[in-house]
Chain A
Amino acid sequence: MKPPPFQYHDPKTLAEAVGLLGTLDNAKLLAGGQSLMPMLNMRFVLPDHVIDLNLVEGMAGIKETDGVLEIGAMTRQRELEFSDLVAAKCPLLHQALMHVGHRQTRNRGTIGGSLCHLDPAAELVTVCMAHDATIAVAGPGGTREIAFADFPAGYLTPAIELNEIVTAIRIPVWPAGHKAAFIEFSRRHGDFAIVSAAALLQIDGGRITRASLTIGGVAVAPVRATEVEQAIVGQAPTSELFAKVCESCRSFEAMADIHASAEYRQHLAVVLARRALEKAADLADNAPWNRAH
């Protein structure tokens, strides 16, 4: 399990990195390395060049402007985990981070790397889908923005060109007092989820006024349960309501692998959708899956 031969580059500026990526053949970007290194060691990817983003200036950081949380692509998952700003403005992201691998992998792993690796069950991908995030990319032709709904192009494949680099993630935050719940089902603590669910609710005067429900791990990319979202807006949040409307998640198209059949994933989608909504709406009972992580 040794990586194949490749040439290593360590640009110091984004322009330099974009330049290298645009001119070198068969190059791979290296962020936190938590997905890329295992794939190199197993020779699942065989790049001729590896361009390390770790020394590039200005690609990490968290700030909020005009209700948008802007996160540099090279921001470590650990920094997000311990960020007061994230905890206050984007509790869904904060909750989700606790499920991303282990402290050791979060120390190195970046948000940009996670999104570009685009594992179907990656928590950060699910959060971006739930929050209608925008992805900023830089390429030889300049910069552009991609709505997150358009970001997944297929299994492990983001909709960016081979010569483009993700530079930042923009997450529109929900108004103060909104409710968020991220839950997932994995075989063991720290494993990629089999299925995850992210719920955002705004509740005013006892009624749901805005809702976002996203299911990760069922299909190649997280899916928004729009049918559920529409059905619960305007309603009072109750367990009965959630149980009834979440049945629609059983019709999601689902993948199968050695860990779970498609039917089981669809079933989990229903169960976790309901549980996430209940948790967000503070209807959670004392069940173990609702206790603090």
Chain B
Amino acid sequence: MDHSRTSNRPIGSPVERLEDLRFLRGRGEFVDDVSSPGALHAVILRSSVAHGRLRGVDASVARKCPGVRAVITAQDIGEIPVITMRQELLPEFKPYQQPVIAGDKVRYVGEPIAVVVADSTALAEDALEHIALDIEALPPVADRAAARKTDSLLFEETGRNHVITLSAKLGDAAAAFHDAPYTRRERFQVQRFTAVTMEPRGLLAEWDDANGHLTVSGMTKVVFHNRRILAKQMGLAEDAITMIEADVGGGFGVRGEFYPEDFLIPFAARTLKRAVKWIEDRRENLIASNHARDAECELEIACDRDGTIRGLRGHGAADLGAYIRTNGVTAARNTAQVLSGPYRVSNIQFEMALLLTNKTPSGTYRGPGRFEADFFRERLFDMAANDLGIDRVEFRRRNLVAEHEMPWTLPTIQPLDQGGETDNGDYRQTLDRCLKDFGWPEKSALQGKLIDGRRHGIAIGCYLEGGGSGPRENVRMVLERDGTVSLYTGSSSVGQGVETVMAQIAADALDMPMARINRVQHGSTTVVTQGYGSYSSRSIVMGGSAIVQAAGLLKDAIRAAAAKRLQCAPSDIAIDGDNAVGPDRASVALSALAVDGIAADGTYASSKRTYSYGAHAAHVAVDPGTGHVALIDYMAVEDVGRIINPLTLHGQAVGAIVQGLGGALLEHLAYDSAGQFLSGTLADYLLPTASDFPVIRAHAMEERPAPHNPLGAKGAGEGGIIPVGGVIANAIANALGVEPNILPLSPPRVWELMNCK
């Protein structure tokens, strides 16, 4: 790090993850490990037809199969609840929300049709083969072009597959393009791909019939929100449902949203008055969990001759799949809003059409919309710079929003919201630091060179990461009788190290060693009265800030209690970690004070988002014979306002970059023209493995603390993924002199680009 650390305070220390020892010893408790003797096992019959009228489901044979306790179909549920949206709900979206089970139609391969509950998963799978379906196949809406037509409709009652068009607006684009000395218009496309968590989803639902109480394990991300949805769907009071967040093996935006199974499994448990477990297998995971990205656009840039950007305009379309899920519109909204990233683009007009097709519904995936927008923009920037004869770096430096211009206003998104504004930052600083650490001047000599049979290319791009979504977060701190402090937070742990960083923040705020903070309790509905969870890079910003507040209140409570014992004013009390010390060194142990019942509730509310930022550079070598792209070097620099833990932050950066590289080069959720899914195993859906991208360097800075929260922290969980697609595509363009405008840049696609040069 550049700056010198002036203390050994917990915040900023490279503390190893407290979770890891547990995980590495196999002592993690993931949902499948949660003990529930006698639990029944559920499996789900999913549609193998992309689009069809569901005429009949005959489960009579399956119901008689050995070990089968129930087969639940739409008929058994009665009025079928829909999964309501969590974000960006407009009346226009309502007709497209997903029912928890297919009723009269199936709309994607993988849509739940029936639940089989049996004594074991194997028996349930055996019985599942005996369910007879009568499906009248309808013409599949297999892509955006088909979606724009009305020949085949997913929802006949609305008469359209084109749900709505969002419109991003800033300044006056028409005026900016009028008479512009330079313009260029290009088409770009990002494929359908998604986060693949190491641990697939899973649920354990336990029904206590005597008390009419339901306990659901396996929830995460937005646990309290999910409880609200489920309570309504099941006609239960929220208090009648306990949701438990076990250990979670990866979230990335996909895990923890409300899915059909989140109703079906609890419903099965209540119906059978038994505990029912469902563990998603990998094949299901790839068709049932949210898909993501899948957007295209035509984007035009207008510049002055010196490269000053006048405006951006164009239109795009997102393929949302068959339904609009809980956060199904977020990525498309963001794409429209963050098109200009960290750059000074004062005039923007961009239309984003939301289309439905017969594919798995989509949702947010780390950097939703931002990955897409950055790819579109950074590709176009390199073309513009080349056309204008301006150095690519200079083009960017010239157009980055300068520090004195902040906060910078973002476009409004009609009809959803008013946009907003950025916070603070020195965008050029991260760009310059990235250039230096990457070795840009030296590597520039390699551009387009053929060395040992491979062509080399480099590229750089800048990005902005929006984090810290509101509205609030709650924590509770309790001084225990052994002098330790227990911390309860509404933030969720999805594997990102929440237990560690929250303990650091608490220890720091309480002036206590970390060992005095008990294992952080998170997420579950039992730990706080209302929690808001983990998404949008918000856990540290919101949950961490709430800890700072709670710690202050806890210290006040300790001082008040100690003052009573020591007969002095609370302001005379100092807390030294073990003791409350009053005048004349009279002291009382914290453990002794705990009997007074010392606790504090902290809450932090804010509607102001944080904007961390950075720059990434890549060096690739392309084999012209095969089109294979090897990553030679990758350098990432970001400023996150305040670094709580450099180790976990580095993990976030490198992990996100690898996911970005997967999206740029490998991953593709492929469908055929009949809407059949073709990427149903991890042999077909190509995730990066340990040997694919060995060289990734990441450097984090904290030069510009966030102005709006007490920690000065900005969201830092997503930045790493945002610029990767654009940077890699530009590096390939630089190596080969081609224009790669479609992701992923698989070897065959790169070969085709070389071929039609």
Give A contacts to B, CB under 8 Å. 1-5, 42-43, 185, 187-192, 194, 258-261, 264, 267-268, 271, 275, 285-289
Contacts and interface: CB of A to CB of B under 8 A. Distances in A.
Contacts of B692: 188-189
B626 to A, nearest CB: 5
Contacts of B751: 264, 267
B691 interface: yes
B666 A185 contact: no
Contacts of B691: 188-189
B174 interface: no
Central interface residue in B129, B453, B691, by most chain A CB within 10 Å = B453
B126 interface: yes
A215 B281 CA distance: 36
Interface in B609-656: 621, 623, 625-626, 628, 630
A107 B18 CA distance: 35
Interface stretch (B369-377, B473-481, B681-689, B731-739): B681-689
A53 B569 CA distance: 83
Contacts of B625: 271, 275
Contacts of B282: 1
Contacts of A5: 126
Nearest to B751: A264
B420 interface: no
Given A187-B747, A258-B678, A4 B126 contact: yes
B112 to A, nearest CB: 17
Given A1-B282, A258-B670, A261-B748, A268 B626 contact: yes
Nearest to A267: B751
Contacts of B121: 2
A98 to B, nearest CB: 13
Given A4-B126, A258-B670, A264-B751, 13 more contacts: A1-B125, A1-B281, A2-B121, A2-B125, A4-B129, A42-B681, A187-B686, A188-B686, A189-B691, A258-B684, A259-B684, A264-B747, A287-B453
Central interface residue in B626, B686, B692, by most chain A CB within 10 Å = B626
B21 interface: no
A4 B124 CA distance: 11
Interface residues of B, number: 35
A3 B282 CA distance: 15
Interface string B736-756: 000000000011100110000
A49 B311 CA distance: 69
B595 interface: no
B157 interface: no
Central interface residue in B623, B666, B668, by most chain A CB within 10 Å = B623
A244 to B, nearest CB: 16
A187 B748 CA distance: 10
A165 B583 CA distance: 91
Given A4-B126, A275-B625, A285-B453, A191 B679 contact: no
B592 interface: no
30 contacts: A1-B125, A1-B281, A1-B283, A2-B121, A3-B122, A4-B125, A4-B126, A5-B126, A43-B129, A187-B746, A187-B747, A188-B666, A188-B689, A190-B689, A258-B678, A258-B679, A259-B746, A259-B748, A260-B748, A264-B751, A268-B626, A271-B625, A271-B626, A286-B452, A286-B453, A287-B453, A288-B452, A288-B623, A289-B453, A289-B623
Contact of B683 (A43, A191, A268, A288): A191
B666 A2 contact: no
B678 to A, nearest CB: 5
A286 B454 CA distance: 10
A186 to B, nearest CB: 10
Interface string B23-58: 000000000000000000000000000000000000
Contacts of A188: 666, 686, 688-689, 691-692
